[in-house]
Amino acid sequence: MSFANLKKQSSLGSLTSKLVKEVEKMNNNGGGGDDRLWKPEMDKTGNGYAVIRFLPAPNEEELPWAKMYSHAFQGPGGWYIENSLTTMGQKDPVSEHNRELWNSGIDSDKDTVRKQKRKLSYYANIYVVQDKANPQNEGKVFLYKFGKKIFDKIMEAMQPEFEDEEAINPFDFWQGANFRLKLKKVAGYWNYDSSEFAAPGALLEDDDALEALWKKQYSLTALTAADQFKSYDQLQNRLQMVLGQKSSSRPRLDEEVENEETDRGSFTPEFSSRSQKSELPENLQGELNNLGSRSSASNDSDEDDALSYFQKLAEE
């Protein structure tokens, strides 16, 4: 834009209207958040309901979900909101700092560790079947970020507890099942306990339409790729600033912390064949077995999981 055009638009007032439209667009999009992400909403009664379908792994990716560890806590120097390098099996400065605190044997240090513990999140591609709060989302593919409670429900569907319950693969286009997401507030917190899977059935009857959906899915491996993490030194510097051990030349704005549990606030599909039984591929079944054994060895509480993690570190 030339200076002459800038002056012309100023006299016409078009710049103001353009800026107002941009602000409205940001507000409608959750403050300029990632428009790939879908999130349920509560109504005026404090309840939320939507129907979604978990989708298979994207093309050339093995698993239909991605797992991410992160930290979100506030210190004297501001907020620390970062992805944890432990997601990639690497050393992370917060984990090391928490280990030192835990090993001190002081109860107050252990309380600090609990506040600074890792948060576990999962990502999956979903198809929105019903979303009355935002009907424009229906029939579209999104990424969905969820926590351990919903992941446990997926595990229970794949590996039911009782013999008279049939195992299903919720990520299967044909033999999977829609997920009825029921959201309510319990003691001031978002609660997903009433959510459940519907009866198994094909998502769509047309295989061409299913393949088109499959090609619209977002990469999950990209979410946990190395470029999604800061280096150890960068994280260490940020941690020191947040803990008040180093002054920051520029204050960082507080960011919204979202967590499903506390929101106080793979296989490649084979389009050429359909099995009558929804059997899991070997690589997915192996991953489930590993996850299942870990889940059965720990409590459902994220805090208990974190404490066992730090206890293991303390014993190293």
* pLDDT in the model for residue 253: 45
Q: Which residue did the predictor score with more confidence, 314 or 153?
A: 153
Sign of the C-alpha dihedral computed for residues 236, 238, 242 and 248 taken in this order: positive
| In the chain, % of residues over pLDDT 90 | 61
* pLDDT in the model for residue 19: 61
Q: How far is Cα of residue 118 from the mean position of the Cα atoms in its chain?
A: 13
Helix (H) / strand (E) containing 182: strand 179-186
Residue 254 pLDDT greater than 70, yes or no: no
54-82 pLDDT per residue, tens: 999 999 999 999 999 999 999 999 999 99
The CATH fold assigned to 39-248+266-315 is Replication Fork Single-Stranded DNA Binding Protein (3.90.198)
Q: Which residue did the predictor score with more confidence, 284 or 87?
A: 87
DSSP of 99-166, one letter per residue?
HHHHHT--HHHHHHHHHT--EEEEEEEEEEEE-TTSGGGTT-EEEEEE-HHHHHHHHHHHS-SSTTSP
* pLDDT in the model for residue 190: 87
| In the chain, % of residues over pLDDT 70 | 67
**Residue 91: band (very low, low, confident or very high) from pLDDT cuts 50, 70, 90:** very high
The average confidence (pLDDT) of the chain is 80
162-180 pLDDT per residue, tens: 888 899 999 999 999 999 9
